[in-house]
Amino acid sequence: TNLRILDNEITDNEGVGILIDSTVTTPDSAIAIKFNTITGNDADNDGYGIQNADIVATVDATFNWWGTTVADDIAAMVNDTTTDGSVTTYEPFLADTVDAVFSASDIAVGATSIAKDTADVAVSVAGTGVTVDTITVAKYIANPQEAIAGAIAFYDVYVAGVTDTDPMATIKFYAGDALTDVYLWSAATLTWGDPLDATFSAYGGYVWVVVDPAMLGGTPFALVGGAAAGLDTPPEILAPDTGADDVSLTPIFAWEPVTDAEGYCFELADNVNFVAPMVRLDGELGRLFVTAYAYVGELEYSTAYYWRVKATSGAFNPWIQWTQVEHFDVESDWASSVFITMDEPEEELPPVVIEETE
């Protein structure tokens, strides 16, 4: 028997909040009681929030709010009445109610939880004939564990009742970018481990990892870092001045450097839509590593030209999944400008020679 008691308020009952009876389980039973508020129960007796009266049942009662963060007080609310093998685990516990600790959460029955809109997470468990009882995901309002520098988001992922012998869970976090690292909290060492092998999908807009579902017993994740703040702003154009109408036919284009940029993409065109640009410096080998470009050749007189530049960082991806979009890991917006070249100088007429006649 697999029993799931998730996301409830079990409060102020005259008797025990949750009683695991000795007659309803079998030796391989797995009982999960998680993400609940369990307070004020059995007040006139022993004050038990959970009483495990089964001789073999293993009860996972982690990640509940007990109305206190004092471990000894919580231990007093959990009772195992037998010593034959029943185990009730209640640590780690929540530091407040689910609503106060998590900014968003989602519970799904089955092998997939698409919680992109509710918790910025999607989880799927794959395997041969795999079945899953429950997937719970949540996004923390604040750091639930030890501080970690540069963190941008925290999540909790819980997967229960996986039957396949060799399943793998894919977790998509809809936050961060190609420079974001994903860390997993270790309940054994009570520390954040080394960064996981994470991949960024520029097309999907998420960072994803693949892990063993056995690791997901209510496991905090931290997403750390990402695009540098400097790349949020496009380069500032220095020359030619936007709107200038007397620009040399061999102009030098210049812009201010962008913090944390590793290179710059540049385009010059004779049309505002940059269709078939005259110059395109892009890609891993084509982008510029300086903040200026000297046009080789001569432009036409009295002609409007359009140019733009953007800052880039990270690796170049010539194919984004099944599309034909070329993209660096991190890019700023384009900074665009327009100018008009100088007028063609008037041809000087030869001097008039007046010859005297006799």
- Bigger pLDDT: 131 or 337? 337
pTM greater than 0.75 = no
- Give per-residue pLDDT as tens, 147-173: 788 888 888 888 877 877 778 999 999
Tens of pLDDT, residue by residue over 65-75, are 999 989 899 99
Whether pLDDT at 329 is above 70: no
Architecture in CATH for domain 229-340: Sandwich (2.60)
Residue 69: CB atoms within 10 A of its CB come to 12
Contacts of 94 (CB under 8 A, 6+ apart): 35, 63, 64, 65, 101
User: Long-range contacts for 325-331 (Cβ within 8 Å, ≥24 apart)?
Assistant: 325/202, 325/203, 326/282, 326/283, 327/202, 328/265, 329/177, 329/178, 329/179, 329/200, 329/202, 330/177, 330/178, 330/179, 330/227, 330/228, 330/231, 331/231, 331/265
Give the residue, 161 or 41, on which the prediction is more confident: 41
Q: Which residues pair with 269 in a beta bridge?
A: 306
Q: What is the mean pLDDT of the chain?
A: 84
Whether the pLDDT of residue 4 is over 70: the answer is yes
Q: What is the pLDDT of residue 323?
A: 42
Residues in the chain, total: 358
Query: What is the spatial distance between Cα 57 and Cα 69, in angstroms, rounded to a whole number?
Result: 26
Instruction: Tell me the mean pLDDT in the region 286-311.
Output: 95
- Is residue 320 predicted with pLDDT exceeding 50? no
pLDDT at 82 over 80: no
Query: Looking at per-residue confidence, does 179 or 16 come out higher?
Result: 16
Query: The sheet that has 199-201: what strands, in order across it?
Result: 112-115, 121-126, 168-173, 206-211, 199-201
The pLDDT > 70 percentage for the chain reads 89
Is residue 231 pLDDT above 70, yes or no?
yes
Q: Hey, what amino acid is at 140?
A: Y
At residue 299, the pLDDT reads 97
The 3-state secondary structure of 257-325 reads CCCCCCEEEEEEECCCCCCCCCEEECHHHHCECCCEEECCCCCCCCCEEEEEEEEEEEEEECCCCCCCC
- Judge residue 204's burial from the number of C-beta atoms within 10 Å of its C-beta, 0-12 exposed, 13-18 middle, 19 or more buried: middle
